[in-house]
């Protein structure tokens, strides 16, 4: 895997070992960021971050900062190694080891808001996450925020938010939601 474009373009990132985490392919990330166009200056939240590929790509393309939420130990090891090897550190890149919903509740208590949120839950559980994530994400979204969901086309994660755009790449569906 590699960072596609921006300041860190071409640099390699590692995927977590094992079969629990499924990194977003280079092809899908490239297509996704082409759809997003500009991310410069954005405050990013990468939920179910895994290797951190989506948040790292956003930082490479000029996002102001990113918070990475992950609870799996192997994924955290790869994420931290990727941030270290790319020279990304706090306050620009912060890692929170936590369950997704607990991290979102904590962010709400701190009154954090985000311009760009990546949500990429385990495909087998994606459908179950929709109602809770819809409620938990709403107070964290800045004006004109976008929420990008990656899920399996057979069991999509559906959020109760306006769908701006949706594309399929093999078995992967990318849905871009917009917040008024």
**Residue at token pair 């999509």:** 156
User: Hey, what are 143's tokens?
Assistant: 């004006």
Cα 159 from Cα 128, distance rounded (Å): 11
- For residue 171, which of 123, 126, 122 has the smallest C-alpha distance? 123
Domain spans, the chain: 26-178
Cα 175 from Cα 112, distance rounded (Å): 23
Cα 151 from Cα 165, distance rounded (Å): 14
Strand partners, 116: 44, 146
List the CATH code of the domain at 26-178.
Answer: 3.40.50.150
Cα 128 from Cα 24, distance rounded (Å): 20
pLDDT by residue for the chain (180 residues), tens only, comes to 899 999 999 999 998 876 556 667 788 889 899 999 899 999 999 999 999 999 999 999 999 999 999 999 999 999 999 999 999 999 999 999 999 999 999 999 999 999 999 999 887 777 788 889 999 999 999 999 999 999 888 888 889 999 999 999 888 899 999 987
Cα 123 from Cα 128, distance rounded (Å): 10
Strand partners, 172: 152, 169
pTM: 0.93
* Angle formed by the axes of helices 53-60 and 26-36, nearest 10°: 50
């Amino acid at each position: 895997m590699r960072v596609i474009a921006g300041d860190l373009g071409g640099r390699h990132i590692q995927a977590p070992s094992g079969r629990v985490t499924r990194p977003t392919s280079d092809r899908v990330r490239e297509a996704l960021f082409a759809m997003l166009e500009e991310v410069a200056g954005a405050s990013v939240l990468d939920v179910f971050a895994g290797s951190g590929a989506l948040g790292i790509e956003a930082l490479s393309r000029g996002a102001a900062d990113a918070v990475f939420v992950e609870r799996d130990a192997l994924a955290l090891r790869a994420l931290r190694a990727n941030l270290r090897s790319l020279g990304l550190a706090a306050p620009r890149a912060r890692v929170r080891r936590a369950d997704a919903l607990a991290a979102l509740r904590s962010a709400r208590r701190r009154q954090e808001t985000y311009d760009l949120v990546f949500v990429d839950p385990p495909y087998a559980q994606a459908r179950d996450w929709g109602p809770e994530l819809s409620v938990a994400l709403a107070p964290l979204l800045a004006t004109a925020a976008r929420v990008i969901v990656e899920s399996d086309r057979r069991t999509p994660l559906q959020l109760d938010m306006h769908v701006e755009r949706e594309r399929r790449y093999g078995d992967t569906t990318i849905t871009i939601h917009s917040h008024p």
